[in-house]
Amino acid sequence: MGTVDQSQTPYADALTRYAERDTLRLNVPGHNARVEGTQRLSGYFGQRILERDLTPFLPGIDSGEGNPLAQARDLAAAAWDAEKTWFLTNGASQANRIVALALAQLGVSQQPIIAQRSAHSSFIDGIILAGLSPVWISPTIDHHHGINHGVSPASFEAALVENPNARAAYVISPSYFGAVADIESLANIAHRHGIPLVVDGAWGTHFGFHPDVPESPLRLGADVLVSSTHKLGGSLTQSAMLHVAKGPFSQQLVEIIDRTFVLTQSTSSSSLLLASLDIARSALATGESDIATAIRSGDALRERVRAHPRLSVLSDDFGQFFDIAAHDPLHVSIDVSGLGRSGHEVRTHLMTEHHIATEIATDNCIVAIIGPGHPVDVDRMMNALDLLARDTPSESSKDRLDLPAVGEFRMIPRDAYFAPSEVVDAAAAVGRISADTLAAYPPGIPNIMPGELFTGEIIEFLQHTVMQPGGYVRGSITEKSNQFRVVI
Ligand SMILES: Cc1ncc(COP(=O)(O)O)c(C=O)c1O
């Protein structure tokens, strides 16, 4: 972060100055920040939001050399020690699509990209758009909890040795459950093989901003970092950042990402989302004490969960997995199988009966996410879990399904997506090539992607997911996942 004053928020301040001027607004947005005729909108959101909701290309805001938006992006680049940072208004999903489309310009469409199989479905969308030909590396799998972790340096090295023509590599860290990969070793290996390493760090925006959270992947050698700032960075939903590191690939990567940013960003990016990124960056870079508050809350919750006879903390077992180098203290992953209910049931129960919203559930876990500056009412959470424990028999939930093995790879995703296809019933889909990406949500990791063969096990898992409270399958053509689109 160097000597830059990170308390500044130049873009957010420029919006405020604009809002406070008496401007006759004869431009979009059509609400014109008027008081008359916008009562429903301003009554709902407050007049300040309307006043700061501005069209792009305004002098003194986002147009002209050194404008406040450019300053805000430069401050973000300084905060992450990046060569360049882009502000995105369609989430880390956009960042993943940008990355895939950018990598295609490195010659990856002819040569493979080495990628972790448990990538978020937005990266698979990017692979389809860009026509990439992925070589998948399996993450380690925690079969007891039915979840994916990360990629170990040894399996990463083996994949690169087996695919000497690979042009780039892509991994995810941290996982949805807070498992952090050994990015330093992965980056060293990638660089030894002459290729850049992309890290989807959607869940680790706060990394590097406090000594007790893991270091930012960019400072450990990653070349590109996907960051879902709205997740734990405190910006508004759908705002995100993409960073390119200072390093051996920076010039080439900045050029191609600039091109693909234009291809994917709205020409009317929301000033509200952009301002929230400016403020979130400043809050992270100057907010060690806020992160410390969240860490203390996470620690307190973990302690209480450990002390509970029927609950346990998932990250306490992370030491068993070779790929996991650290864990994020702001993710509190709780094994609830001892309550005799599935994680989905527990999550829904907490929401409906106690108005406690947790982030993710699987068959036997729930994950609580604690944002910086947020002291958690640990008693409230534990009382709710205690009540549930009292109401339910002491036995493990019975209907857990293991993660299904990946189906055989038959066609590159883009070819399968655009191939002639038909919709068939589930039973008839077994042994056929999927034309769609189907991802059980949460967490949204594709169980099958275009070009892979359906198996009975995959279909059973998808159908099991949609039966769970809060479970759905992204990309499914029917709510019950009883029909699928297959290549003819
Ligand atoms: C690993 C990972 N990458 C990317 C995304 C997409 O992020 P966003 O919701 O900001 O588009 C998610 C969303 O959950 C994710 O978990």
Check if 122 has its Cβ closer than 6 Å to any atom of ligand 1.
Answer: yes
Closest ligand 1 atom to Cα of 172: 1
Average of pLDDT values for 131-144? Answer: 89
36 CA to middle of ligand 1, Å? Answer: 39
Q: Give the separation between CA 38 and CA 432, rounded to whole angstroms.
A: 53
Average of pLDDT values for 208-227? Answer: 98
Residue 1: pLDDT band with limits 50, 70, 90? low
pLDDT of res. 470: 78
- Determine which of 261-265, 315-319, 439-443, 481-485 has the lowest per-residue pLDDT on average: 439-443
446 CA to middle of ligand 1, Å? Answer: 13
Provide the 10 A C-beta neighbour count for residue 143.
9
Which helix (DSSP H) or strand (DSSP E) does residue 434 occupy?
A: none
Compare 320 and 242 and report the one with higher pLDDT. 242
Q: What is the pLDDT of residues 401-453, one digit of tens each?
A: 778 899 999 999 999 999 999 999 999 999 999 999 999 876 778 999 999 99
The rounded mean pLDDT for the chain is: 93
- Are both 10-285 and 288-391 of the same fold? no
User: Does residue 8 have a pLDDT over 70?
Assistant: yes
Tell me if 404 sits within 8 A of 457, measured CB to CB: yes
pLDDT of res. 441: 77
Closest ligand 1 atom to Cα of 238: 10
10-285 topology per CATH: Aspartate Aminotransferase; domain 2 (3.40.640)
Q: Which of 88, 127, 151, 228 most suits a substitution to test ligand 1, by most atoms within 8 Å of the C-beta?
A: 228
pLDDT of res. 112: 86
284 CA to middle of ligand 1, Å? Answer: 19
Given CATH 3.90.100.10, say whether it is the number of domain 413-487.
yes
Check if 174 has its Cβ closer than 6 Å to any atom of ligand 1.
Answer: no
Q: Give the separation between CA 411 and CA 424, rounded to whole angstroms.
A: 19
User: Does residue 2 have a pLDDT over 90?
Assistant: no
Q: Give the separation between CA 209 and CA 206, rounded to whole angstroms.
A: 6
User: Does residue 459 have a pLDDT over 60?
Assistant: yes
Check if 125 has its Cβ closer than 6 Å to any atom of ligand 1.
Answer: no
Closest ligand 1 atom to Cα of 94: 11
Kindly give, in sequence order, each residue whose CB lies less than 8 Å from that of residue 286, ignoring residues fewer than 6 positions away: 6, 7
Closest ligand 1 atom to Cα of 175: 1
Q: Give the separation between CA 317 and CA 180, rounded to whole angstroms.
A: 13
- Domain edges within the chain: 10-285, 288-391, 413-487
Check if 298 has its Cβ closer than 6 Å to any atom of ligand 1.
Answer: no
159 CA to middle of ligand 1, Å? Answer: 25
Burial (0-12, 13-18, 19+ Cβ within 10 Å), 368: buried
Closest ligand 1 atom to Cα of 90: 11
Closest ligand 1 atom to Cα of 119: 1
277 CA to middle of ligand 1, Å? Answer: 16
Check if 159 has its Cβ closer than 6 Å to any atom of ligand 1.
Answer: no
Tell me if 175 sits within 8 A of 148, measured CB to CB: yes
User: Does residue 202 have a pLDDT over 60?
Assistant: yes
- Determine which of 115-129, 137-151, 221-235 has the lowest per-residue pLDDT on average: 137-151
Find the length of the chain: 488
22 CA to middle of ligand 1, Å? Answer: 39
117 CA to middle of ligand 1, Å? Answer: 15
Check if 93 has its Cβ closer than 6 Å to any atom of ligand 1.
Answer: yes
Tell me if 83 sits within 8 A of 246, measured CB to CB: yes
Check if 116 has its Cβ closer than 6 Å to any atom of ligand 1.
Answer: no
Residue 339: pLDDT band with limits 50, 70, 90? very high
Q: What is the pLDDT of residues 162-198, one digit of tens each?
A: 999 999 999 999 999 999 999 999 999 999 999 999 9
User: Of 167, 151, 131, 172, which Cα lies nearest the Cα of 414?
Assistant: 131
User: Does residue 304 have a pLDDT over 90?
Assistant: yes
pLDDT of res. 398: 54
Kindly give, in sequence order, each residue whose CB lies less than 8 Å from that of residue 319, ignoring residues fewer than 6 positions away: none
Closest ligand 1 atom to Cα of 228: 10
pLDDT of res. 396: 55
Provide the angle, in degrees to the nearest 10, between the axes of the packed helices 121-130 and 91-103.
30
pLDDT of res. 394: 65
Q: Give the separation between CA 2 and CA 79, rounded to whole angstroms.
A: 8
pLDDT of res. 26: 79
Residue 178 half-sphere exposure toward CB, CA atoms < 13 A: 30
- Determine which of 35-39, 360-364, 482-486 has the lowest per-residue pLDDT on average: 35-39
Provide the angle, in degrees to the nearest 10, between the axes of the packed helices 183-192 and 153-162.
20
pLDDT of res. 23: 85
- Determine which of 141-150, 270-279, 347-356, 430-439 has the lowest per-residue pLDDT on average: 141-150
Provide the CATH number for the domain formed by 288-391 in this structure.
Answer: 3.90.1150.150
Residue 90: pLDDT band with limits 50, 70, 90? very high
Beta strand ranges found along 102-161 (DSSP E): 113-116, 134-137, 141-142, 147-148
24 CA to middle of ligand 1, Å? Answer: 39
User: Does residue 94 have a pLDDT over 90?
Assistant: yes
Which helix (DSSP H) or strand (DSSP E) does residue 445 occupy?
A: strand 445-448
Check if 282 has its Cβ closer than 6 Å to any atom of ligand 1.
Answer: no
Average of pLDDT values for 309-333? Answer: 94
Residue 31: pLDDT band with limits 50, 70, 90? confident
pLDDT of res. 395: 62
- Determine which of 77-86, 142-151, 395-404, 449-458 has the lowest per-residue pLDDT on average: 395-404
Compare 374 and 247 and report the one with higher pLDDT. 247
User: Of 158, 153, 142, 213, which Cα lies nearest the Cα of 181?
Assistant: 153
122 CA to middle of ligand 1, Å? Answer: 7
Residue 342: pLDDT band with limits 50, 70, 90? confident
Q: Which of 122, 176, 369, 474 most suits a substitution to test ligand 1, by most atoms within 8 Å of the C-beta?
A: 122
Compare 42 and 246 and report the one with higher pLDDT. 246
Q: Which of 86, 89, 120 most suits a substitution to test ligand 1, by most atoms within 8 Å of the C-beta?
A: 120
Q: Give the separation between CA 70 and CA 86, rounded to whole angstroms.
A: 10
pLDDT of res. 36: 79
Tell me if 240 sits within 8 A of 264, measured CB to CB: no
Tell me if 356 sits within 8 A of 380, measured CB to CB: yes
pLDDT of res. 147: 85
Check if 33 has its Cβ closer than 6 Å to any atom of ligand 1.
Answer: no
- Determine which of 364-378, 391-405, 459-473 has the lowest per-residue pLDDT on average: 391-405
User: Of 208, 140, 144, which Cα lies nearest the Cα of 175?
Assistant: 140
